[in-house]
A and B are shown apart, each in its own frame.
Chain A
Amino acid sequence: MVQAMLDRELKKGSAELLILSLVAHEPRHGYELSKLIDSRSNGAIRFHVASLYPLLYRLEKRGWIEGRWVEKANQRRRRYYRLTAEGRRVLAAQRRNWREFVEAIARITGVQHA
């Protein structure tokens, strides 16, 4: 129970940073994003439909990412998201914050970087 709560809070705090980082270099669609988060975190963090898309739309509404429909032959159309200029600035700031936060935690708890 406590574990689940902690998970949720951590996820909330980091979710924006995760998405922005993942679309920083190339446009990705929603399913791809959820797969990447799942695999790169070794299943520790998971985003499903109900949590991922509201987050994407919120980021898009803020103008940090931008969605585009892309149609390919013999495939259903997919919506790809990419970072906007504004998003790039936010991402840099969030990365700095996160790094400082993690370092602070590390100094207190003695947990070291791998």
Chain B
Amino acid sequence: MPDPQEPDRIDWRAEITTRLASLRLTPEQETDLADELAQHADDRFQELRARGASDADARRTVMTELDDEDGLAARLAGIVRRGAPRGPSLGVSTSGTIAGQVPQDVRYALRAMRRSPGFTAGVILTLALGIGAATTIFSVVNGVLLAPLPYRDPGQLVAFWGTSPEKQLPRVDFPPGLFVSVREKSRAFASMTAFEGAGFTLTGVGDPVRIDAATVSLDFFTVFGTTPLLGRTFIAGEDTPDDNRVTVLGYGLWQRRFGGDSSVLGRSITLNGMPSTVIGVMPPDFAVPIRAELWVPLRLDPAAFNCWCLSMIGRVKPGLDTEDAARDLRMTLDDFGLQRRDVFPDAKRGGSRVVATPLVREIAGDVRAPLLVLLVAVSVLLLIACANIANLLLSRAAGRGREMAVRCCLGASPQRIATQLLTESALLAAAGAALGVVLAFAAVRLVRRLPQIEIPRVQDIRVDPVVLAFAVGVTAISALLFGLAPALRAARVDLQTNLKDGARGSSAAGTRRLSDAFVVVQFALSLVLLAGAGLLIKSLGKLVAIDPGFRAEHMLVARMQPPYARYGSDTVVRSFYERVVERTSAIPGVRAVGLTQRAPLTRGNPQDNVIAEGHEPRPGEPIVVSNVRYITPGYFAAMGTPVLQGRSFTASDGPSSPHVAVVDETFARRFWPDGNAVGKRIAHEGDTSSTRWLTVVGVVPNVRHASLGEPLNLQVYEPYAQRTPWTMYLIIRAALPPQTLLASVRAQVASIDPEIPLYEARTMEEAVSRSLATRRLTNTLLTSFAIAAFVLAAIGIYGVISISVAGRKREFGVRLALGAQPGNVLRLVMRQGTWLALTGIAIGMLGATWVVRFLRGLLYGVSAFDVPTFLGATVLLAVVAIAACLIPARRATRVAPVVVLRE
């Protein structure tokens, strides 16, 4: 208080400021107002003094005049607008512009967030997890499916192959003769290359090592438009009949084995025992086919139609797309087939079937479908999170009804309040996104190191500007999704109700309807996720429960390839195999040893057209394609595959003995359904001359070779002695943990020939688990999304029912006071909650039946509309809903009528 003894020192500004406090002016406004009014008060005081009044009297008069007419603040309240920075000078205010508002809104929003730290943290964390998960999945999708390949005009690169649905052959590679003709005749392609995956044993540079490689047509690198890092690529004339005289190295191999030494050019290396000269090194990002680290020229014989084994990639002419390419290929193939009846006996115009697909999609391969499913799932999860946050904000906005009403009274326009609330949402979203992106960085590092899963283009998975842009976009959409509804509700603030009721937090009917709608949406989306996850879990369960036809435990697998150059003939190779079997069988702990050219769950599945005697196809009928494996006598024992009928091969099934075969149950049942396959005869197509008929001597169960979930194929086994493959998998059944035997197995093989390395060594259990790894990871992620979804849904319904109960306390009090039993009140609340949940579940059911069709490719042994799964998801969600509603419902029954009515 100013001292009346010192009239000159009366602080009128302070007097004024105190009186204006309730207006909550901005500092600038307050300064302007106080300046102007204090000046007036002072002038008035001086005037009174000049007229002879005493200091005390003059002061008292001015004070009275200040408080005249209900007081200053009350009279100014409706006129002076908070948020107009230049005080009463509204005419030149900048407050109308958005730019002027933003910093102020941000300050206000930060204050509001600080006021409720628990709420803020909850929202930010939910968003961070949602946005983090979405960003991580997107970075994988981006790296694997979307990012352009590191080649010139990658959009023009198209992979293609034939397909034969009637023979159950989804993918048929081309023979050299066909490729050469297609390359010549095709009009849609600017260039075209053929290649075949291969493996080479590299000797002479450190230990013998197996290298993933490819034999490629001469213009292979030109098609990709990639120039070598060092040296050159192949030129005409280098596809000589003498194998592999020149070699192009991959960057990784060059670094690992040659120390990145540029003098490697011109150096002679030994591949499969043959000399070859290094002529070039490719840059690090060149990887066609995936994993290949070494390329040698492929000799294309235009007359060769024996090996349907070439993969093809073409560059379409500018302006043409994949569809044009496919059409062109079909026409070219039709022409070819009609001219060459010897190759395509059943050719007809329009009969060719070709699959042409952008190279980028071909490289993504099997992970494309699960990735897209996960991307959809994570988006759904984010939607659920947004619905949850929207509801939290709505309920909080209802609690802040009085604040909004007061601000409206003070002159804030509805748009202004909506903008303010949106700013709060945007800040929450931004904070959540920032944290989410940090999480995504960590998660992406994790994804790149997943041990068991081979993700194509894993090196392209990173949080790059595209991914960040995605995160920003997702954040903006989220902020709008969860911020818009509360903001619009608040803008339609009902002053009267809010000023009267605001403090009690009862929400207007509109807000309640909106909250209810969000809960319904949450339950609907949760059901979709739960049903999807349920279907995948069930599929995995079925796959794991499959009898693969062999016993994976206690089994060791490794591959070897005797070099043709040194071994030269089948006889020599056979004797090498015999010694390998003999020496490894002698290792303590080894129970059985077998060899086959393709072990189950490895890449590649050798096939041939096989004819059963008496069932020869009529002209025009497709010839049955069977898997064909050449095996040693110990193979079935090593695999743990029982012989169901007849016998297995023995040492007496030698090169000059009668030709024999073992078939699997599917093959036997197909041709001899009466169960008398043993003694019947089969032959490879083109081998039906009397000498090459094979007599079936045994029947074995079906074995899943390509994957656990593959449809049952026909399988024929033949003794390796009668057709000797030049690469073999060694299969060892052990009495000990199989990995402990690997070292001694290596040692035994090396003791026979130190230049033949064992590669692709693994236990069969590893192979099985690796074959399911992508599926397992997809399941784990989808399941965790589903769990997160229903936890959020539970929280959502709990929150909405709680708020509703709090708002209806008085009603419940009255009911209880009038004699309602607690049970009645409980039922009342539960009915509300269950109705919401069931509506959501019903809508979700409709949605799920539509969405699950996209899962079909990932399902195994389960219908996309599996009733038990849908029922399970429904029951689970209903139980969660009931549990979540029970807590607030019981709270409603404990309302003390007296207390509530007195309030």
Contacts and interface: CB of A to CB of B under 8 A. Distances in A.
Interface of A: 29-31, 34-35, 48-54, 56-58, 60-61, 63, 66-67, 69, 76-79
A67 B40 CA distance: 15
Nearest to B64: A48
B75 A50 contact: yes
Interface in B302-338: none
B88 A67 contact: yes
Interface stretch (B31-39, B669-677, B826-834): B31-39
A49 B34 CA distance: 12
A56 B79 CA distance: 10
B151 to A, nearest CB: 67
Given A30-B40, A49-B40, 4 more contacts: A50-B67, A51-B75, A53-B72, A57-B79
B41 A49 contact: yes
A67 B89 contact: yes
A31 B76 contact: no
Nearest to A8: B69
B39 A57 contact: no
Given A78-B39, A79-B36, A53 B76 contact: yes
Contacts, number: 73
Interface string B78-110: 011000000011110000000000000000000
A76 B35 contact: yes
Nearest to B81: A61
| Residue with the greatest number of chain A CB neighbours at <10 A, chosen from B40, B41, B62, B75 | B40
Interface of B: 32, 35-37, 39-41, 43-44, 47, 62, 65-72, 75-76, 79-80, 88-91
A63 B72 contact: no
Given A67-B88, A78-B39, A54 B65 contact: no
Nearest to A79: B36
Contacts of A69: 32
Contacts of B62: 49
A57 B88 contact: yes
28 contacts: A30-B40, A31-B44, A34-B44, A48-B44, A48-B68, A48-B69, A49-B65, A49-B66, A49-B72, A50-B65, A50-B67, A50-B68, A50-B71, A54-B75, A54-B76, A54-B79, A57-B76, A57-B79, A57-B80, A58-B79, A60-B89, A61-B90, A63-B91, A67-B88, A77-B35, A78-B39, A79-B32, A79-B36
B75 A60 contact: no
B91 A66 contact: yes
A57 B90 CA distance: 9
Contacts of A78: 36, 39
Given A50-B67, A63-B91, A31 B40 contact: yes
Contacts of A61: 79, 88, 90
B79 A76 contact: no
Contacts of A60: 88-91
A58 B69 CA distance: 16
Contacts of B65: 48-50
Contacts of B72: 49-50, 53-54
B90 A51 contact: no
Nearest to A48: B65
B91 to A, nearest CB: 6
Contacts of A76: 35, 39
A29 B42 CA distance: 14
Contacts of B89: 60, 67
Of A30, A53, A56, A76, the most chain B CB neighbours within 10 A belong to: A53
Contacts of B71: 50
A31 B39 contact: yes
Contacts of B90: 60-61
Contacts of A79: 32, 35-36
Contacts of B36: 30, 53, 78-79
A57 B67 CA distance: 18
A31 B42 CA distance: 10
Nearest to A32: B43
Contacts of A51: 68-69, 75
Contact of A31 (B43, B67, B79): B43
Given A30-B40, A76-B39, A77-B35, A50 B66 contact: yes
A49 B67 CA distance: 9
A62 B44 CA distance: 27
Contacts of B35: 76-77, 79
